[in-house]
Structure 1
Amino acid sequence: MGFEHHRVVITAAGRDFGRTLALRFAARGAEVHLSARTPEAAARVREEILAQGHDADRVHAYACDLADPVSVREFAAGVGARTDRVDVLLNNGSRYHHGADLLSASDEDVVATLASGATGTVLVTKAFLPLLLNSDKPDIVTMVSICGESGHHRSDAHDSFYAAKSAQAGFTEILSRRLREQGVRVISLYPPDFDNHDPLSPHWEGAPRTAKDPLTAQSLVDCVFFAVGQPRDCFIKSFHFEQV
């Protein structure tokens, strides 16, 4: 399926999986609005997409600090100045913090982890909801994590990351129920740690995979494309994955 008629917003697209999402949606023809914590990081990904031959009028870069309400509002206003609607919002941003010992993180690290993953997801969704409601095909896609599943304990992530992801899971659950009558689909992904190969590398296409291999970014992107590409009567609420 092509996405030539989709206007897509992606948070934390300056590197890793956010960058992958931006590159892949652009390759499918979407108009991409990508954000990163710094304008330099966002601009680098935009230039990377333009180097693939994409129209400059369909690739836009913004700075957005998910922990800063003013920055989130300015991001949404910047997008709103260029378009009257958003068809897909991809909540990808969330600070990761490693460490199985609660005492290993500073108070500042705890606040930053919760602010980016939990507060940031709520603020971004709230800021972009008016533009989403202007679309006839609105989808909100959130990259949660297996750490957001009740009872999961196999990650070495810090407790604050578990808390942030659990908050995201609760938010998307209630959002899915409350926005359905307005035609907004809320889709959540709960992956374990996965292999994020560069989507332009030879590993991206055609590499053989087995049940013993880690989940790949390609599989996650394919899940997003599949869910967003379904007819509007098909509400896929979540994707859950086995951990190797």
Structure 2
Amino acid sequence: MEFDDMRVVITGAGRDTGLLLAETFAARGARVFLSARDEGAASRAADVINQRGAGPAEAFRCDLADPGSVREFADAVAGRTERIDVLVNNAATYRDGEISDVEVEQIIAGAATGTVLLTQHLLPLLRRSERPDIVNMISGCGEPGNHRSDAHPAFYAAKHAQAGFAGILSHRLRPEGVRVISLFPPDFVQEGPRTAGSALTARSVVDCVMFAVGQPRDCFIREFRFEQVR
């Protein structure tokens, strides 16, 4: 298979796009380490993947808004593998409308601080890979001037922080051969027709990730930017 023996870490993989990412990597032969805030959701996702007989999956709990949980997850992964080939920073909490102070804190801590801390803790394992990639599922909300999403401003703030982190990380890790790939999709749907006039689907976003990761090592695709219907 295309990704045989590749070691892939995916956050927020208990459902939706994160689960689809995990399933797709595993279907191509990768060994997947998936996490979710809800350990039960992560375990159920891993069970589904393992029952299909593709690449194996292992489940972990990780609350990116909790630095202690991030460290525990990173340590657990380090105890299971000597290297990581792909880290997919997918997890983020989307909210719209009025939200509480606690939710604001969790959104920014999870998507911004959590992403930085987890990447920092797993970078030594990525550096041991012959094909290291860091994939950041950012959002159009992280683009300057974007105002098309109904997301709460805290989500916008978190995604701008992620974008800034990804930009400097790409610049500093490029000499080491570590590719940093960031996606800025608009609000998209999990399922739907994949036609020119339709909303972007999760499958199309995942296909972009697979394309980028599968490129030869001289090909550094830094960002995917998307047109959207509205």
The normalised TM-score by structure 2 is 0.96
Q: Which runs of 5+ in 1 are unaligned?
A: 198-202
2:212 equivalent to 1:214:
no
Q: 1:225 aligns with which of 185, 205, 210?
A: 210
Within 1, Cα distance between the matches of 2:209 and 2:46?
Answer: 21
SS of alignment partner, residue 34 of structure 1 = strand
Within 1, Cα distance between the matches of 2:150 and 2:212?
Answer: 29
Shift of 1:237: 0.3
Runs of 4+ in 1 over 2 A off after TM superposition: none
Q: Partner of 1:121 in structure 2?
A: 115
Within 2, Cα distance between the matches of 1:164 and 1:76?
Answer: 22
Shift of 1:106: 1.7
SS of alignment partner, residue 25 of structure 2 = helix
Residues 169-228 of structure 1: CA deviation (Å, up to 9, x unaligned): 00000000001111100000000111213xxxxx7xxxx632111111121111111111
SS of alignment partner, residue 41 of structure 2 = helix
Residues 145-172 of structure 1: CA deviation (Å, up to 9, x unaligned): 0000000001110000000000000000
2:28 equivalent to 1:28:
yes
SS of alignment partner, residue 217 of structure 2 = coil
Shift of 1:105: 2.3
Within 2, Cα distance between the matches of 1:209 and 1:60?
Answer: 31
RMSD: 1.2
Q: Give the total of aligned pairs.
A: 229
Within 2, Cα distance between the matches of 1:217 and 1:110?
Answer: 25
Q: Partner of 2:12 in structure 1?
A: 12
Q: Which runs of 5+ in 2 are unaligned?
A: none
SS of alignment partner, residue 34 of structure 2 = strand
Task: Give the 5 Å matches for 1:54-69.
Answer: 54=54, 58-69=56-67
Within 1, Cα distance between the matches of 2:194 and 2:37?
Answer: 33
Q: Partner of 2:188 in structure 1?
A: 194
Task: Give the 5 Å matches for 1:41-120.
Answer: 41-54=41-54, 58-99=56-97, 104-120=98-114
Shift of 1:138: 0.3
Within 1, Cα distance between the matches of 2:224 and 2:89?
Answer: 15
Shift of 1:122: 0.5
